[in-house]
Structure 1
């Protein structure tokens, strides 16, 4: 596990950018944290790291559930806050994105229960004080652990 503290919303975005630069086709980033923990700011950084046009607003898809952004790879940004469980996501056909050619970033990943892919980068964000965040990274397989180690070295 790698733990980083950020001191501002911009620093959280920059940390996401560093991760985004390391991601490749089929990578899955599961975001965990309470409301206001910085998940969407972190996702904005990932979008920047994937070379999504900076003029494109990256927002949480709370009501649409999925936003797709084009960069060097497609970014599938999910917000599952409104879902009741894994059955609902399965019924909506999200798995085709989870194993696609783009990068998946999923806010409220716990709603997927046991439906997460085998290789997942779990990112847990916690609000400290003011705009500070504690960001913990954990990988579930060889590729994801390699990405996290590269992230540690890119700081």
Structure 2
């Protein structure tokens, strides 16, 4: 079962805000899978997630050539259980090599224990994403972007909370049937 919402983002700030809202509802072990064309706003969305997790969004960059970036808080007063943001670019992991590529970055290890994992080009991973993830589809739309959030598994109970948060932020999410 999947439940989805769509948000029309007119500005970069609104795209960042949606990412921030998603991150504030994320818990350790969560996967947020992003898909969309080049330039659709996937990395911008992850910058919003970083902000929502109390991380510096200015350090977020696309992990295209290194496959994975890990962002954590640098302040001395960070609690030991603070979440880490793991940012993966799965574009080069497509096809038969996906499992080996994921294994090489620690997908099956402790990657999720204290992390929220944001995966760009998530659509190329297929079943490797499992049953518990939030799909984020970003599409170009004149003048901005159309963002579709589709909850799977353990994200399902949080979709109504996301909807309420988006409404409070003035982003007017619409249910997708």
TM surpasses 0.5: yes
- Distance, in Å, in 1 between the alignment partners of 2:128 and 2:111 is 10
String of CA shifts for 1:102-121, please: whole Å, max 9, x gaps: 10000011221211122010
String of CA shifts for 1:67-90, please: whole Å, max 9, x gaps: 000144100000112223323323
Aligned with 1:66 (options 65, 68, 77): 68
**What pairs up with 1:67-86 in 2 under 5 angstroms?**
67-71=69-73, 72-85=82-95, 86=98
Q: RMSD of aligned C-alpha atoms? A: 1.6
2:136 alignment counterpart? 123
1:87 alignment counterpart? 99
Structure 1's 45 and 25: CA in aligned 2 closer, same or farther, altered over 3 A? Answer: same
Q: 1:91: how far off?
A: 3.7
The ranges of structure 1 where at least 4 consecutive aligned residues each deviate by more than 3 angstroms after the TM superposition are none
- Distance, in Å, in 1 between the alignment partners of 2:21 and 2:33 is 16
2:116 alignment counterpart? 103
Q: Which runs of 5+ in 2 are unaligned?
A: 74-81, 167-177
2:152 alignment counterpart? 140
Is the partner of 2:142 in helix, strand or coil?
coil
Under a length normalisation based on structure 1, what TM-score does the superposition of the two structures give? Answer: 0.90
Q: 1:98: how far off?
A: 5.2
1:46 alignment counterpart? 49
Q: Which has the larger radius of gyration?
A: 2
- Length, aligned pairs only: 152
Task: Using CA pairs under 8 Å that are at least 6 residues apart, name the structure with larger relative contact order, 1 or 2.
Answer: 2
